[in-house]
Amino acid sequence: MAKKELKTVEDFPFGRENYVLMLIGLAVIFLGFILMIGGGNEDPAIWDPSIFSFRRITLAPSLVILGFVIEVFAILKKSKE
């Protein structure tokens, strides 16, 4: 019967800092999508210009892109451990 080896820190593909950065990136992406929601109107005959607000057109997509940049950085960053 083969003996199971315990995983050491060196066996993991990323270090703790990488995982923290990945979680931060996911939180930024999630925040961007949260800022995009809304703007719907129950009556289609009434125009609601809030769908073209700064928050939905500029800020939210910028946060999503920033989150993906953080994710790529977290993956490519060499772990110190």
pLDDT digits (tens, 9 = 90+) for 5-23: 666 556 778 899 999 999 9
Q: Is residue 2 pLDDT above 60, yes or no?
A: yes
Q: pLDDT grade, residue 38 (50/70/90)?
A: confident
pLDDT at position 7 is 60
pLDDT at position 48 is 78
Nearest one of 37, 43, 72 to 55, comparing CA atoms: 37
pLDDT at position 9 is 54
pLDDT at position 1 is 57
DSSP 1-64: -PPPPPP-GGGSSS-HHHHHHHHHHHHHHHHHHHHH-----S-TTS--GGGGSHIIIIIHHHHH
